[in-house]
Structure 1
Amino acid sequence: MRNLITLLVVALTFSCQNSAQNNKKQQAVINAEPVEVPIKNGKAKAYFASGCFWCVEAVYESIKGVDEVINGYAGGYTKNPTYEASNTGRTGHAEAVEVIYDPKVVSFEILVDAYFASQNPTQVNGQGPDRGSQYRSIIFYQNEAQKKIILEKKDALAKKLDAKIAAEVYPFQKFWVAEDYHQNYERLHPNNSYIRNVSIPRLKRFQAKFPKELLKESH
């Protein structure tokens, strides 16, 4: 019995140490200076995490001015994250999207509006059936102007709903592109059960509440 207690104490000690190390690494990400991605060929990039990236990809691709959406991982402290590693919840990363858009057609502000309109803003660590830190909501800012927009909209929504908004606000650091088979998933796999039962209903709920003049006729 004494040996068992000793083993439990040792295990708990190492567990606490690992947790402290992970928290320290994650805090460094949160406290870092944002990295600004330059506009290239007239196109800007924005980064969001909001549950399964298959769902978020479909939402943003339905908005006018968005050229392309790429699925990947962001917000964590490990290098070269994979889908399998991200799913453990131990990388610090969340499934995220890179939104490539024309700022002359759609503003960052509208993209943030779409972000909040396309999710349950009070759900912590997930969206719908997808649960875990890898599915948490994060909005990434690249400069103080973007940060101001995000915080003002988050605060306004909190007051409107009289509830705490789950989305975290992070300085953008790096976006890791996900595996090829995750890209354009809703388009390529329309009969997948998750797409039919989760992604498409979420997209339709978003389209029903978002201003029609901001949406493409098809995506």
Structure 2
Amino acid sequence: MSIAHLAPSLAPAQLTPRQTVTPVPTSASTPAAEPSSPTASRIRAVPSGTEARGFVLYVGIDEEKAEADGTELGKIVAQIKALVAQIAPSSETYAAVALAPRGSGGRDVDVVRLALQDPAALAKHRQEEPEPEDRARDGVVIDLSRKRLLLDNESANLTYKEFELLQYLVLREGRTIDRAELINALWSASDDDIPNERTIDVHVRRLRSKLGDYEDIVRTVRGVGYRFDRHADVSVRQTSTPSPDLF
């Protein structure tokens, strides 16, 4: 599932290069639209003491539908980013892709909204989805929907980045991920604490220390990188809520 997440944030280096979007000329027979007044174009319902700093555009389309339309997700993102840059050159954009289990169903745009933690979509999801068991009898529960980790019925106090690191490996179960990929995927150019290939080991070591007796689910592949190994006592919960990932 894909989204174009347009917000005031620096785009990561791996995003598709900007493409030129040629504006459609206005026909001579078509009168030019009257410019709207500044008052009419302002964002409504902004609470007192706050200001609008950007917006999010949810785009629901999977890779097969994009291919049927004669395009690709990367091209769609690149053209939207180029259009925004053309309309407002001072703007900054950031894009991400929403991942969900294959065959999970649901409307694409709803899946994307859940992945990006849209409050209205989350509230509707909680009403419609049966509440899963909060506790497992023992072992590891990696709850991607709720962004939490349970170890023997106790919640592990992971930082946001530690959970993102674990989630990245879980979503690529069985594949060895090298250090460079982890850095490029989980840190953007605007971050102040971007690790190098040596210090990424420190982040993994901290994650493992919080996994305690289950630290071996994050396995080191010597000379290559890291891999998530699922054991019999490991459960991954996701229901229909996907997890966002960098595009």
- By the TM > 0.5 criterion, same fold? no
Using the size of structure 1 for normalisation, the TM-score is: 0.23
Structure with max Cα Rg: 2
TM-score, normalised relative to structure 2: 0.21
More helix by share: 1
